[in-house]
Chain A
Amino acid sequence: MTTQVLELVVVGLVGGSLGALFGVGGGIILVPGLIFVADLSFTGAVATSLVCIVATSVAGSTVFLRRQVVDLDVAVELQFFAVVGAVVAGLSAAMIPTGPLYFAFSALLVVTAYHMRPGSIPHTSVETRPPRRGAARGASVGAGLVSGLLGVGGGVLNVPILHLLLGLPFERAAAGSIYIIGVTAGAAAAVYLARGDVHVTVAGTTMLGTVVGASLTAALGVKLDQRLLKWGFALLLLVVAIRMVGRGLAQF
């Protein structure tokens, strides 16, 4: 019992720290961590991760909203479309076998690792381009589906949606994404909670680690070689992706 509590706190700490360090929701680390370290089922890990994402998003959004860097006009509109996707995904998750979900998660890890490589995020000036609201709405539904099915925030999709499709400056896109992922994860978590997939003690313990990890990383303002750090994180994601494929194959 004590060992599992420690495992959950450590997974939360690592997920929260890396999430804050690389601007991702943390689900990308939490879900595999909860499966491989805390021995949770895929559904249990997804449900727990979603609850933790809500906590980290609330903490981050509070700061961004106070600094008025979240474009609420855009974020509140897109969050609706993301929630539609997340709820549909949450309801469908119970009917989808876990094998393919492991493969989908591995694919998401590879995509994230690709985007994580140094110099890959396009900080291009897109403010002059006309916003593509229809495409952004459709893509937000997709981001919600990914979030609800795989237990991630979907920041890897939200930031490009806000930055490339709607032309928000990168910093505002990142702040808006942190806000949107909390609402999206909250809606999906409510579905999992209503179905009885959320273990309150497990989620609470992991959330404690996540919040402490994210807060400490933000407060300490870790100054490491970003290039080396990004390569290291990308490599870690690829290793986890291979392990997830292995776990997925074992389901058949």
Chain B
Amino acid sequence: MAQPNLNKMRTAIGGLLGAALLAVSLAAPAAAQDSGQVYQPTIWIDPDGCEHWVMDDGAEGFMTPNLQRNGDPVCHRAEICGVMPTDQLFATDRYEIDANGRATLENFFRSANAFGFMIYGHTDARASDEYNMTLSQNRANAVAAVAQGIGARVVDIRGFGERRPRADNTTVEGLQQNRRVEVYCLR
């Protein structure tokens, strides 16, 4: 008894959804053509270097971030204050930092004159995406641990694997440039 009722309900809901979709698909093109007062924004760039749409409509102001379709903000990252080539910090596939590397990093974090740091690991495109996500996260964690070891404030740590290359992964130089830990200074 319960089953047929449920099916009926499904059919009814399906019908309603269909009608709603039809209404939307009929209404949308007309609405897009009819309305649409021109609101021309400009770009405001925040102290981190990221863009925001901004409009002054007389007595009101409006602001919203300029995002790519994937949700990444559009930024001119002048405040990437350190790009550590990982070849100098880590052996291939490893994420331990030796005494020399530690000293270099400590020196960097001490002299950066920043309120806090955001630390992002990246790899080249060799090995699997999943492997590289883990490796870059471990390397970012290792660099962050050095910062925290001298009392620096670490605001964000993340590994992006091979997903955000800086350079071409088909050349030796490009691969090398992509193996890196980036440090963003928050001031």
Tell me, yes or no, whether A binds B: no
Q: Spell out A's residues near B (CB within 8 Å).
A: none
Which B residues fall within an 8 A CB radius of A? none
